[in-house]
Amino acid sequence: MITEVVPVPTVSSAATYAIPGLLVYSVALCLYRVFFHPLAKYPGPLSYKLSGWPLLWQAYTGDRHIWHLKDHEKYGPIVRIAPNTLSFNTASALSTIYGPRSANVKKGEWYKTFDIAAGSYSSFTETEREKHTIKRRWMSPAFSGDSMKANEPLIINIVERFCRTLKPATSGWGAKWNMSEMSTYLGFDIMGALVFGCDFKSVQERRNRDLANSVLPASMLMYWISYLPLAVLVRPLLRTRLFELVGGNSVADNNRLIDYASGQVQARLTRSEVEKNIAEGRIDFLSRLVGVEDKKTGWQPTIEDLGTESLNMINAGADPFSGVLAGAIFYLVHNPEALQKATTEVRDTFASPVEIQSGRDLNECTYLYACIEETLRRTAPVPSHLPRIVLSGGMDIDGEYLPADTVVGVPMYAIHHNPSYFAEPFAFRPERWIESANNSLESIAIARRAFNPFSIGTRQCIGRNLAYLQLKLTLAHLLWGLDMRLAPDGPGCGGGRLGLGVGREREDEFQLWDAFGFGRDGPMVEFKVHNSYEKAE
Ligand code: HEM
């Protein structure tokens, strides 16, 4: 009997077909992306049009915001920054994309990786609009005016402790402090107290600094990983040992933070426990969220929802505040005239530190407020895009029709340094926010339209008022009690310098390493006790 021999494909014969096939596919894809793609007509470097890898690299290095600014300077208000992504640098695009509830966009794929390791999406990363509306409703009471008022004494207490830690024991200038580090601990202590009701004292004691120090590296890691073209494949690996081995300390840190948050949730699992806590005066944000049912839909948070949300409040709440505080101190010590004006205003307004609290007097510190606004402009904590994806039906932005699935965004650092909205954008000028003979209401309104450190619209920061309160209270207490100056050997730390990288040359610019919350260092600052501080004690 003759048996028919069926040829078995060998590795080499498979490669004979696969390699040319892959080459043809790649060439066809490149040609399509450059010449036939719906975004083909928009300007941008060729490498951006071909693949998303340049964007990923920029996110990985922390330089993305600088690239966006440079690309807009070179190519104009609309730049194609990845095959499917457009960046806009106009106030009109900002309000079209992020402003109205009816805007035909939702949060992009990027968000689906950021905090999924904790088991659920938070109000920050939820991309589905209806689900987000429910979560936002759920969170709102924690951020209400009443809640702010109830929590203010707690914040003031932690801020006063912070000032006492920085205060030198003698009458001269004291030790130098790295204000990025100290602000990180302050931000963590405040959010730890508000969210979990825990007094970490990481400003004063080293024992809990590991947890505080893990927030930013974990966020920076997840920031660029979420831009991986195949991030969807990475998501299931995020909590595995393999990922810890590959990602190193930042992954381990992220996991430790997740475990801490879920431990706190476990401790409050029943509403009756929570009621007991509240009765005993423990009304932390987490306690407000446990066991609450959405009246309109009947939705109730799962354990994972609670864990992710509390983690999100630490990530989203602590670090942006800390970065902005360090930035404000950087700009004040580098701009003695502004420091002098803000200090005089605070000291003239308040006769003693107990008077420094929310209310009319604090609101009337207009120069202090202008310093905060100017810092938020220069050091927006999310310096690049908040990516939004166009939904079915497409949408018009700045007169351009964009089809569904296009990713769009306005990079904050670029628009905050756009001279069409901010004259001399690289100057620290709090005066630009105050009406005067040299600064009309109209030029302030133009600036305001492009100013969006907390984003705008339905997805804008829920902690905005809390963040302003924290910034005002901290700066007012610091300026009231202490004189501050750049440490004599401090120049160079925190600012730009030649050799630090393209766009990082300005010595008087606080350097940001792009992420959600940004990487930073310095300034190195010394403090001296102001007379009236001594009298008040
Ligand atoms: C200076 C301080 C802060 C800045 C500049 C800031 C900035 C932002 C920005 C730009 C967003 C929008 C993110 C996006 O669209 O992807 C956001 C969202 C958010 N922020 Fe803040 N933030 C600050 C402080 C806080 C604080 C203190 C909290 C309190 C927990 C907080 C909680 C949140 C939450 C929960 C979201 C998600 C909101 C939503 O999508 O509904 N942030 N923040």
Q: Quote the ipTM score.
A: 0.98
pLDDT at 87 over 90: yes
The pLDDT of residue 11 = 63
CA distance 506 to 430: 19
Question: Which amino acid, 520?
Answer: R
Q: Beta strands 407-409 and 388-390: pairing type?
A: antiparallel
Confidence band, pLDDT 50/70/90 cuts, at residue 271: low
Q: Nearest 5°: phi and psi at 86? A: -115, 140
pLDDT of residue 536: 47
169 or 408: which carries more pLDDT confidence? 408
Q: How open is the CA angle 32-38-42, to the nearest 5 degrees? A: 95
> What confidence tier does 231 reach under pLDDT thresholds 50, 70, 90?
confident
Q: Which positions ≥6 away from 471 have C-beta within 8 Å?
A: 321, 324, 325, 328, 372
Q: Average of pLDDT values for 402-420? A: 97
Predicted TM-score (pTM) of the model is: 0.92
Q: What is the DSSP string of 320-361?
A: HHHHHHHHHHHHHHH-HHHHHHHHHHHHHH-SSGGG-SSSHH
**Using 50, 70 and 90 to split pLDDT, how confident is the model at 535?**
very low
Question: Which pLDDT band, with edges at 50, 70 and 90, does 283 fall under?
Answer: confident
Separation of CA 461 and ligand 1 centre (Å)? 4
**Pocket residues for ligand 1 (CB within 6 Å)?**
123-124, 136, 312-313, 316-317, 320-321, 324, 381-382, 386, 453-455, 459, 461-463, 466-467
- Of the candidates 472, 441, 437, 254, the residue with the CA atom closest to the CA atom of residue 363: 472
Which amino acid is present at 387?
P
Mean pLDDT of 401-407: 96
Residue 1 pLDDT exceeds 80: no
Positive or negative CA dihedral for 131, 137, 142, 148? positive
**Range in 169-178, 215-224, 333-342 with the lowest mean pLDDT:** 215-224
Ligand-binding annotation for 365, yes or no, is no
pLDDT band at 275 (very low <50, low <70, confident <90, very high): low
Q: Say how many Å lie between the CA of residue 258 and the centre of ligand 1.
A: 19
The per-residue pLDDT for range 493-515, each reduced to its tens digit, is 899 999 998 899 999 999 999 98
Rounded distance from Cα 303 to ligand 1 centre (Å): 22
Model pLDDT for residues 204-224, shown as the tens digit of each residue = 998 778 888 888 888 888 888
- Residue spans of alpha helices (H) in 421-529: 441-450, 464-481
Ligand 1, closest atom to CA 132?
41
Ligand 1 mutation target, pool 310, 322, 461, 473, most atoms within 8 A of CB: 461
Coil, strand, or helix at residue 283?
coil
H or E segment to which residue 275 belongs: helix 271-279
Q: Is the pLDDT of residue 524 over 80?
A: yes
pLDDT at 2: 52
Whether the pLDDT of residue 123 is over 70: the answer is yes
User: CA 486, CA 41: separation in Å to the nearest integer?
Assistant: 49
Highest mean pLDDT (candidates 1-10, 246-255, 361-370) = 361-370
Percentage of the chain exceeding pLDDT 70: 93
